[in-house]
Structure 1
Amino acid sequence: MGWEFRKSTPSDNVMVPATADPFESPKWAPPVWHMPPVLVLTVHLVRALVRLALFLARHPITVATVGCLAWLTYTIGWQLVAVLVAFAALCLGCWAAYWWDSFLHLVGYPARARWRHLLVYRRRWQPVMVMSGLAFYRNAREYLPVIKRVTVTTTTDRVLVKMLSGQAPGIWRDHAENLAHGFGAALCRIRTASKPGYLWLELVRRDALAEPLAALPVGTEDGRAVDLSALPIGRREDGSTWRLRLLGTHVLIAGATGAGKGSVLWGLVRALLPAIRAGLVQVWGIDPKRMELAFGRDIFNRYSDDAMGGMVDLLEAAVAEMHKRAARFGGVTRTFIATAADPFLVLMVDELAFLTAYCPDRDLRKRADAALATLTTQGRSVGICIVGALQDPRKDVINIRNLFPTRIALRLDEADQVDMVLGDGAYERGALADQISPIPKTGAGVGYVRLEDSPDPVRVRAAFVSDTDIAAMAGYLAEAA
């Protein structure tokens, strides 16, 4: 008869008959040591105390407030505490009623950020990381990225994450769709952080750009108060105002038919109106199609839609003005300041591709290319800005697109065109311009732009300027004439 060891108690092994094979050698099983209940309780108690200490260290203001209220309740009574709480609630209510914006930014958003941090992101973090493939297992241990901070706006949450060692933002971009569904967001974008090893998750809860925007108010009557480096023309996805720079840059707007290029053009004109009225800004218009800018031709200081050469003549007139200013400013100043004698000149060209590729006259195309190349390379320093709009951004259509520092991608037909407009890698960073809705109500004026302070594209929507608004703008300028 064979024998084998069987564990009967944590410290006692006995020999028992084998039932499987009578000729099998005896087997030995190591004893199992069970932690005493007192030690188990001690370990859990120590863990709870450590977690409590960490909570107290991370939330000193909350702990101090609760502690003071508890002390007052114990020493004085609950009546005084109730009065203090009611007074604090009244103060917060008055603050919210009369100064809502400051209340929202200093109280509302931080409170909501903390709430979503605890109930949404921390609660779902471990299963979402595991199912998305962003967690790591080694030696029976689980390693997870760490949430460092959560900020919120009206429509968007931003989560600062410390990645695991060896991870890169590109890995997270591959799982952006998983993260969006995991956290109940409509869209998730991965944004690089300023510190290595960190990134931002930008989770869009609802689309702030789903509805068309009415034309923005003209604003101040003082033309000198118009900021040429931050003209308001629409809204950003986070709910803030979209401001576009014209001073010291050139702007290229690319979008398919019906994408809303006219909204951007007329939005810029509307933002410039007080400065135009004061004589500090001049706007020249070129419209080969004779449909978009022609409706408000009275607004422009100079205008042309003559396909037989008038448009090219206007471009060359801008080049001549540029050379005159360069001759006067050379060696005198390096910074342009708009004055009545030397106003800031904005040259708007709708359907730019007609001048560079589609014009049937070869000589006119060459002259237009030469004038545009000269203006885009030398015009910024003397206060001349080119704003061009086109449908096709390919090199064979416009070979000087890289001379436009500011580029806007509205709805495009192909994904490859996004990188043509915004630069390599823009599509991977979330500029999905080919997925913008072709329905005018939901997609016209929606696009992506790269801002000066970040390489990541930002989703924006230009306000819609109607025919009635354009007529009112012309009347506004006629009043000062």
Structure 2
Amino acid sequence: MFKKLPGDETRKLVSTTPDTAVVFRPVVVQTPAIVTIVILAWRVLAGLVRTVIVHPVAVAALVVPVTLTLLYGWRVALIVSTVLASLLIGWYLGDRESFTSCVGWRLLAFWRRIWIYRRHWQPVMVISGLGRHLRGRDYLPRLVRVECDSSADRVTVRMLSGQAVKDWTDRADHLAHGFGAPACRVTIARAGRLVLTFPRSDPLATPLPAVPVPASADVGPVEIGRCEDGTPWRLKVHGTHVLVAGATGAGKGSVIWSTVRALLPAVRAGLVELWALDPKLMELSYGRELFGHRYAATPEECADLLDEAVSVMQKRAARFAGVRRSHVPTVDDPFVLVIVDEVAFLTAYQPDRALRQRITAALATLTTQGRAVGVGVLAALQDPRKEVMNIRNLFPDKIALRLDESEQVDMVLGDGARDRGAHADLISPRPELGAGVGYVRLETSPEPVRVRAAYVSDTDIRAMVAARADWGEAA
């Protein structure tokens, strides 16, 4: 009646109750106990070694007292622990920065790895759809490393085979709320690995005072604010072109005036010339003395000044041809920075069609040929749509301040920028919270960086104008 087959599958079963479900037992493979023990022991050993390598400070803080207690008793362990704690407190009071860098952030990373990320890893991965539950087993992305600094956690993960970066960027909100963070940004570490950045606090929540005028003349990347990780934000203007997009009151003036302020020593040394186009007659006119006769306000004057910049560029290109491939600022050939406030007024809203085409052609010529010979463009606009600014892709470096619509983020920073965490449309419209805050996408990296430009007040601009007048008198 019965026939034994692999897996004890029952065949030719005759039942008097046809409605009864027939249950078949699956194949059961008996694994030798020694194999199971070896595998478990290897996993435990590998986990311990990995923990020691990744978290040496936290492991030492736990292992040293326990070892001393077992070897010499609790009194010796208490004395040694007290001495070490006193030394650490003295180190913290004497040099807080080095202490937090070597000890503090490592201990915090160890704690947050265990209490925040490891504890919630499985439910967050499964519910967000980044994990898979197949045949009674959970397949989860691997939590590789957790690093902390003063403002954020950086979590390195290894994706499951077959996953794409878009799978993670589409679920950034799920990850942020799942781990109790206000936001989550996804960046690529290398093939198969991602870095998830979870901010703990916002170092850019308060306005920044104007950056002091540099002591030396430098046209390299100039400091104009601060990045989200607390490091100075240095904007490259020589050898590139920069487009700044933001709604009214987003802080475009902060970017422009901070750049002008940082270049003042180079202007005094004759290594930089600032040319200003101010069709709104509001922003740059307050410090027009800084630009001398290179200041234009009416559309006709703006067109003439742009044509003059093109002429300077073409003359330099003719002299540099076959001699040099890059520009080094000198007194004879200074770096020329053309600053255009509200460029859309000249390229899209200008009623004179011939004048509009002339300005657009000059800007296109400068942005395609100017940076190799030391002529750069720093342009600001409110509306980044293609029909408003059809040459926006000619600007290698772009800055997105507060924008009105989510679609505008990708218009400024490129496709996929918002999915990678550039939420420029969510920046607060309150000046004290959001003015000058934005995201930067550089030519050399597709990943957006959150920054805030320093606020240059009217008093600061008047002081800059007065200093410029003193230079003229001294000359």
Aligned to 1:236: 227
Deviations 1:235-280 (A, max 9, x none): 2222222221112100111111111111110111111122122221
Alignment of 1:274-293 (within 5 A): 274-293=265-284
Given the alignment of the two structures, is residue 139 of structure 1 paired with residue 135 of structure 2, yes or no?
yes
Alignment of 1:401-480 (within 5 A): 401-480=392-471
Tell me: CA distance 1:342–1:72, structure 2 relative to 1, closer, same or farther (3 Å): same
Q: For the Cα contact (< 8 Å) 1:282–1:301, is it kept in 2?
A: no
Structure 2 portions without partners, runs of 5+: 1-15, 26-31
In 1, Cα distance between equivalents of 2:442 and 2:102: 26
Q: Which amino acid aligns with 1:288?
A: P
Q: For the Cα contact (< 8 Å) 1:192–1:200, is it kept in 2?
A: yes
Q: For the Cα contact (< 8 Å) 2:241–2:378, is it kept in 1?
A: yes
What is the root-mean-square deviation of aligned Cα atoms in Å? Answer: 2.9
Given the alignment of the two structures, is residue 158 of structure 1 paired with residue 154 of structure 2, yes or no?
yes
In 2, Cα distance between equivalents of 1:170 and 1:57: 33
Please give the secondary structure, in 2, of the residue aligned with 1:165: coil
Q: Which amino acid aligns with 1:153?
A: D
Please give the secondary structure, in 2, of the residue aligned with 1:316: helix
Tell me: CA distance 1:70–1:389, structure 2 relative to 1, closer, same or farther (3 Å): closer
Tell me: CA distance 1:369–1:47, structure 2 relative to 1, closer, same or farther (3 Å): closer
Following TM superposition, by how much is the alpha carbon of 1:159 offset from its aligned partner in structure 2, in angstroms? 0.7
Aligned to 1:57: 49
In 2, Cα distance between equivalents of 1:332 and 1:173: 47
Given the alignment of the two structures, is residue 254 of structure 1 paired with residue 256 of structure 2, yes or no?
no
Percent identical: 53
Given the alignment of the two structures, is residue 319 of structure 1 paired with residue 310 of structure 2, yes or no?
yes
State the number of aligned residues.
Answer: 445
Following TM superposition, by how much is the alpha carbon of 1:295 offset from its aligned partner in structure 2, in angstroms? 0.3
Deviations 1:186-211 (A, max 9, x none): 111222222x2221211122333222
Given the alignment of the two structures, is residue 112 of structure 1 paired with residue 108 of structure 2, yes or no?
yes
Comparing 86-95 with 182-191, greater Cα deviation is found at 86-95
Tell me: CA distance 1:89–1:357, structure 2 relative to 1, closer, same or farther (3 Å): same
Following TM superposition, by how much is the alpha carbon of 1:333 offset from its aligned partner in structure 2, in angstroms? 1.5
Following TM superposition, by how much is the alpha carbon of 1:282 offset from its aligned partner in structure 2, in angstroms? 1.3
In 1, Cα distance between equivalents of 2:73 and 2:47: 27
Deviations 1:67-108 (A, max 9, x none): 666666666676665555445444433443343333322222
Following TM superposition, by how much is the alpha carbon of 1:218 offset from its aligned partner in structure 2, in angstroms? 1.7
Following TM superposition, by how much is the alpha carbon of 1:431 offset from its aligned partner in structure 2, in angstroms? 2.0
Given the alignment of the two structures, is residue 215 of structure 1 paired with residue 210 of structure 2, yes or no?
yes
Given the alignment of the two structures, is residue 360 of structure 1 paired with residue 351 of structure 2, yes or no?
yes
In 2, Cα distance between equivalents of 1:122 and 1:70: 24
Tell me: CA distance 1:81–1:278, structure 2 relative to 1, closer, same or farther (3 Å): farther
Please give the secondary structure, in 2, of the residue aligned with 1:120: helix
Deviations 1:211-234 (A, max 9, x none): 222212223x221xx2x3421112
Please give the secondary structure, in 2, of the residue aligned with 1:193: strand
Larger Rg: 1
Following TM superposition, by how much is the alpha carbon of 1:381 offset from its aligned partner in structure 2, in angstroms? 0.7
Comparing 240-249 with 379-388, greater Cα deviation is found at 240-249
Aligned to 2:386: 395
In 2, Cα distance between equivalents of 1:244 and 1:316: 26
Following TM superposition, by how much is the alpha carbon of 1:452 offset from its aligned partner in structure 2, in angstroms? 4.3
Q: For the Cα contact (< 8 Å) 1:289–1:305, is it kept in 2?
A: no
In 2, Cα distance between equivalents of 1:336 and 1:80: 67
Following TM superposition, by how much is the alpha carbon of 1:410 offset from its aligned partner in structure 2, in angstroms? 1.4
Following TM superposition, by how much is the alpha carbon of 1:406 offset from its aligned partner in structure 2, in angstroms? 0.8
Following TM superposition, by how much is the alpha carbon of 1:384 offset from its aligned partner in structure 2, in angstroms? 0.9
Comparing 204-213 with 160-169, greater Cα deviation is found at 204-213
Deviations 1:260-307 (A, max 9, x none): 111110111111122122221111111011110000111124443442
In 2, Cα distance between equivalents of 1:247 and 1:24: 87
Q: For the Cα contact (< 8 Å) 2:279–2:299, is it kept in 1?
A: no
Following TM superposition, by how much is the alpha carbon of 1:65 offset from its aligned partner in structure 2, in angstroms? 7.7
Following TM superposition, by how much is the alpha carbon of 1:47 offset from its aligned partner in structure 2, in angstroms? 8.5
Aligned to 1:201: 196
Q: Which amino acid aligns with 2:164?
A: A
Tell me: CA distance 1:361–1:93, structure 2 relative to 1, closer, same or farther (3 Å): same
Q: For the Cα contact (< 8 Å) 2:410–2:418, is it kept in 1?
A: yes
Given the alignment of the two structures, is residue 309 of structure 1 paired with residue 304 of structure 2, yes or no?
no
Comparing 331-340 with 449-458, greater Cα deviation is found at 449-458
Aligned to 2:3: none
Tell me: CA distance 1:136–1:477, structure 2 relative to 1, closer, same or farther (3 Å): same
Following TM superposition, by how much is the alpha carbon of 1:420 offset from its aligned partner in structure 2, in angstroms? 1.6
Tell me: CA distance 1:43–1:118, structure 2 relative to 1, closer, same or farther (3 Å): farther
Q: Which amino acid aligns with 2:398?
A: R
Q: For the Cα contact (< 8 Å) 2:187–2:447, is it kept in 1?
A: yes
Following TM superposition, by how much is the alpha carbon of 1:52 offset from its aligned partner in structure 2, in angstroms? 4.8
Following TM superposition, by how much is the alpha carbon of 1:112 offset from its aligned partner in structure 2, in angstroms? 1.3
Q: Which amino acid aligns with 1:230?
A: P
Q: For the Cα contact (< 8 Å) 2:141–2:160, is it kept in 1?
A: yes
Please give the secondary structure, in 2, of the residue aligned with 1:199: strand
Please give the secondary structure, in 1, of the residue aligned with 2:177: helix
With structure 2 as the length reference, what TM-score do the two structures score?
Answer: 0.85
Aligned to 1:8: none
In 2, Cα distance between equivalents of 1:306 and 1:251: 21
Aligned to 1:3: none
Given the alignment of the two structures, is residue 350 of structure 1 paired with residue 341 of structure 2, yes or no?
yes
Please give the secondary structure, in 2, of the residue aligned with 1:234: strand
Structure 1 portions without partners, runs of 5+: 1-22, 32-38
Please give the secondary structure, in 2, of the residue aligned with 1:187: coil
Q: Which amino acid aligns with 2:235?
A: L
Q: For the Cα contact (< 8 Å) 2:296–2:305, is it kept in 1?
A: no
In 2, Cα distance between equivalents of 1:455 and 1:29: 56
Please give the secondary structure, in 1, of the residue aligned with 2:184: strand
Comparing 357-366 with 152-161, greater Cα deviation is found at 357-366
Q: For the Cα contact (< 8 Å) 1:283–1:302, is it kept in 2?
A: no
